[in-house]
Amino acid sequence: MILCEQNLAEFGFEFGLDLATQIATSLIDKDIELVIVDENAMREINKTQRGIDKPTDVLSFGLESVPNAINLPLGSILINANAVQSEAKERGHSEEAEFALLFLHALLHLLGFNHENDSGQMREKERQIIEKFALPQSLIIRSE
* pLDDT tens per residue across span 60-108: 999 866 666 667 888 999 999 999 999 999 999 999 999 999 999 999 9
Spatial separation of the C-alpha atoms in residues 72 and 43, rounded to whole Å: 27
What number of CA atoms fall less than 13 Å from residue 55's CA on the CB side?
A: 14
Q: What is the pLDDT of residue 39?
A: 96
User: What percent of the chain shows pLDDT beyond 90?
Assistant: 67
**Are the CB atoms for 100 and 2 separated by under 8 Å?**
no
Give the C-alpha separation, 18 to 96, whole Å: 10
| Contact partners, residue 143, CB within 8 Å, separation at least 6 | none
Please determine, for residue 48, whether its predicted confidence score (pLDDT) is greater than 70.
Answer: yes
pLDDT for the residue 138: 63
pLDDT in tens, 30-47: 899 999 999 999 999 999
Cβ atoms of 58 and 79 closer than 8 Å: yes
The arrangement of strands across the sheet holding 32-37 comes to 2-4, 32-37, 75-80, 58-62
Q: What pLDDT digit, counting tens, does each position of 5-25 carry?
A: 788 999 999 999 999 999 999
CA–CA gap between residue 16 and residue 21 (Å, rounded)? 9
The model's pTM is 0.90
